[in-house]
Amino acid sequence: MSSNPVLILPDLNKQFVVRSDASSKAIGAVLLQEKDGILRPISYVSRKLLDREQNYPICEKECLGVVFAVHKFARYLMMRKFLLQVDSKVLTVMKINKSLNPRLLRWSLALQGFAYDVEHIPGPQNRISDILSRF
């Protein structure tokens, strides 16, 4: 990140990409869209974890980050399919796993109103949301 990424305006005719991440203290996400062959940011969100959330296992923090991101970006994501890119392989099976603990099940239900595909990406590709989760 040698230069500041410029935000672009959303194009409702193109697919949106959501990337999220979690750290021990915060969650962060970025909404992206391809322009000129490059994924460019539309919006950033992050927040500090509550004291009780800081005690969650990392897989639950990652899931919380996804739910937070999708609901923050809902106005762009409703009624259209989007791509959710995460660096946690646990999240790639959350959508299909039926034996979730109550918290994960509740979050899975909260995402049912959205149409999305989940894709695992290596951590270095998730740099922006990783940085946001550390503020």
Tell whether the model's pLDDT for residue 8 goes beyond 60. Answer: yes
**pLDDT-based confidence at 105, cuts 50/70/90?**
confident
pLDDT score recorded for residue 126: 54
**Between 101 and 1, the higher pLDDT residue:** 101
pLDDT score recorded for residue 4: 58
Residues facing 76 on adjacent strands: none
Domains of the chain, first to last: 16-132 (3.30.420.10)
pLDDT score recorded for residue 2: 54
User: Tens digit of pLDDT for each residue in 48-77?
Assistant: 999 999 999 998 999 999 999 999 999 999
